Homo-oligomer: A and B are copies of this chain.
Amino acid sequence: MTTPLNELTATEIVAAINAGRTTCEAVARACLERITAREPQVQAWQYLNPDQVIEQARALDQSGRRGPLTGVPIGVKDIIDTCDMPTEYGSPIYEGHQPSSDAACVALSRKAGGIVMGKTVTTEFANVHPGKTRNPLDPARTPGGSSSGSGAAVGDYMVPLAIGTQTTGSTTRPASFCGVVGYRPTWGDLRTARVMESSGSLDTLGILARSIEDIALYRDVLLGVEPVPIPDNVPAPRIGFCRTHVWPRLEPATQKLLEDAAQRLARAGATVEEVTLPADFEGLEAAHRWISGFEFARNFTWEIENRWGELSETLRNGRLKDGLACSYEDYASMRELVARCRHLLAPIIGNYDILLAASAAGEAPLGLNSTVHPWVYMIWTTMHVPSVTLPVFKGPHGMPIGAQLIARRSDDRRLFAAARWVYQRLAS
């Protein structure tokens, strides 16, 4: 029995197309069929035009052009500009808005042979106010956000890859809730040109996929370099198990899953040690809140001044209120705290290949509030370190929970190698 085309990973699709076992069009059609069947429940797509997808796929088949992502359908979060599809940033203010060129990440994806499947649902301006998307594993539950549609579309086998973004936990969280692999790169590595800026000092792209090999492949494409596969036979990693000060707020089942995982990895040959972060790190929750608020509120001055009535109540009374109330002195002092913590983290993380941490407080909760438990993510996002979330746990209701792995800045390749080692030991 062969795997349906829409369930292949990106790496498998490229191999199948290169070997002549399938075509770009066949893959695109399989994904479109899945979407037709499932979109009424999942609601992952803000914009999707099947004709445009087939047209891209046929053009690729006819040209015979081959690249590292040839024929791979990709979902693009709708805060990322596309030259041939509207980009609405999750806001009625931008209904029908049509950019004139592609964001850097979209152009790099197309250059590699990727097919832009459509635009995936985002919360309003990648902030808190949720979109329409449901968790594909349980429509009564949130898919997590703000990259809600990207997480749900990959989790539901509509596309093998999707681009998201992250300012707090916007990739890690939907990855954990939808049971897919999520990756937040080293801050600054993957260009965000023509991606809506939420809070520039924290924003990164994010990748959602169904395998760590696909993450590694797509990261190289988005870096604009020749892809280098994850090396085989890496030694057992040195792992720092890092509960952080948020530990007591995790659900007990999540605590147990993480503790068991640490033990299993140790039994499998990894060096596992408990790592305690200095007390300064407890200030990072507040730092994230004020830094992101300060920047966000200024970025959206045009909307505040001209389209106030079309902003959600959630946004007006949340991040905008915070941000407009924050003084520069507070902002700058929070930024200093963050810089100090980055400095403190470097030697700690330097003792390990990866840190193991929570990627969520628990399973996706009931309801559509998609940006729950921001405190799980704030520490790591402010640290600018790369992170991979692996779908290796099941919670009390049978919903997925991810394990988050974290590495040193610019050490994303080592992270991937260690993540594959961990995945092979835990996913069973």
Q: Which residues of B contact A328 (CB under 8 A)?
A: 223, 225
A373 within 8 Å of B by Cβ?
no
Minimum CB–CB distance for A285 against chain B, Å: 21
- Bound-state CA distance A107–B295 (Å) is 14
A395 within 8 Å of B by Cβ?
no
* Cross-chain contact of A410 among B299, B304, B332 (Cβ < 8 A): B332
- Bound-state CA distance A7–B421 (Å) is 68
Q: Do residues B332 and A107 form an inter-chain contact, with CB atoms below 8 A?
A: no
Chain A interface size range:
35 or more
Q: Which residues of B contact A298 (CB under 8 A)?
A: 104, 108, 191, 193, 223-224
The complex is assembled from copies of this chain, and their number is 2
Q: Do residues A104 and B301 form an inter-chain contact, with CB atoms below 8 A?
A: yes
The answer to whether residues A410 and B335 also contact, given A302-B102, A305-B107 and a CB cut-off of 8 A, is yes
The answer to whether residues A200 and B225 also contact, given A97-B100, A107-B301 and a CB cut-off of 8 A, is no
Q: A102-127: which residues lie under 8 A (CB-CB) from chain B?
A: 102-104, 106-108, 110-111
- Bound-state CA distance A328–B228 (Å) is 12
* Cross-chain contact of A225 among B196, B305, B327 (Cβ < 8 A): B327
- Bound-state CA distance A224–B330 (Å) is 13
Q: Do residues A299 and B335 form an inter-chain contact, with CB atoms below 8 A?
A: no
- Bound-state CA distance A304–B298 (Å) is 32
* Cross-chain contact of A200 among B97, B191, B324, B336 (Cβ < 8 A): B191
Q: Which residues of B contact A59 (CB under 8 A)?
A: none
Minimum CB–CB distance for A323 against chain B, Å: 9
Minimum CB–CB distance for A408 against chain B, Å: 11
Q: Do residues B332 and A299 form an inter-chain contact, with CB atoms below 8 A?
A: no
- Bound-state CA distance A188–B83 (Å) is 28
Minimum CB–CB distance for A303 against chain B, Å: 7
A101 within 8 Å of B by Cβ?
yes
Residue of B nearest to A303 (CB): B101
Which 8 pairs between the two chains have the least Cβ-Cβ distance? A107-B301, A107-B302, A193-B299, A193-B197, A102-B302, A224-B298, A101-B302, A332-B410
* Known A106-B302, A107-B304; further 5 A-B contacts with Cβ < 8 A: A107-B301, A111-B305, A193-B196, A224-B301, A335-B410
